[in-house]
Amino acid sequence: MEKAASEQEDCRKIHSEITQLVALRFQLTTLSVVIFVAMLGWYTTLVSKNTEMAPHIVGPMMIIIQIFLTSIFMYYIHLRRIIRIFSIYLSVKFGSSWESDWRKFRNGVNSTRFKTYTAFGANLFVVLGILSVVYPMGLFWFGLGVEAYRFAMNPLCWVATVILAFYMVFVVLIGHGVIATFNEEHLEQTWTSLLSEPVAKTVD
């Protein structure tokens, strides 16, 4: 009876941890939008104050935004791995039907037809990455009559464009599961092996 109560409390704690991690992932997507909007506001303020948008200033800012987005996305994906560690433990230890069924659904043949929040999050990061370069470019082309060739001839702006291309490929491949960041079968085997080992007795 006491063991059953203890296991029930363990399940509650793990589910609480998973819920917090899922909530944190949504907060990270919100943070990425906030940072992006703040930078767009800075760009727009430069134009509204009739301040010339020098390429040597805007180029590094585009690169910095993409670095921020990449860092947040990597943490976003890392949290998914932590969630899988907890959820696979529930499946192995307690035979959680939901975790087992959810895993079958994710790995099913037709699972790509139904996008989960990881895929939607990846799409959001792709859109933000594109706008982080396209929006400043648009201000150069259409704002205050700044000559377009000054942007085209600045190497930092082209570096930002190249980084964007790699960023998009990285986010799409990772976010849509083309490249696996972890092996669920290996995690399951690890938990099964650990849970089958006898508990070491302490020596007084």
**Does any domain span residue 46?**
yes
**Does any domain span residue 114?**
no
Number of structural domains in the chain: 1
Which residue, 80, 64, 79, 59, is CA-closest to 159? 59
Q: How far is CA 78 from the centre of its chain?
A: 8
- Specify the pLDDT at position 143: 56
**Does any domain span residue 112?**
no
Q: Supply the range of the domain harboring residue 80.
A: 2-103+119-194
For the chain, what percent of residues have pLDDT higher than 90?
9
Helix (H) or strand (E) holding 1: none
pLDDT one-digit tens code per residue, 147-190: 555 665 667 777 888 888 898 888 988 887 777 767 777 888 88
pLDDT one-digit tens code per residue, 79-106: 988 988 888 888 888 777 777 777 777 6
Mean pLDDT over the full length of the chain: 78
pTM of the model: 0.79
> Is the pLDDT at 24 greater than 70, yes or no?
yes
- Specify the pLDDT at position 101: 76
Angle at 126 between CA 124 and CA 129, to 5 degrees: 110
51 three-state secondary structure: coil
CA pair distance 99, 90, nearest whole angstrom: 7
Q: How far is CA 204 from the centre of its chain?
A: 47
Local structure of residue 153 (DSSP, 8 states) = T
**Does any domain span residue 202?**
no
- Specify the pLDDT at position 108: 65
Q: How distant, in Å, are the alpha carbons of 50, 134, 140 from that of 150?
A: 17, 16, 9
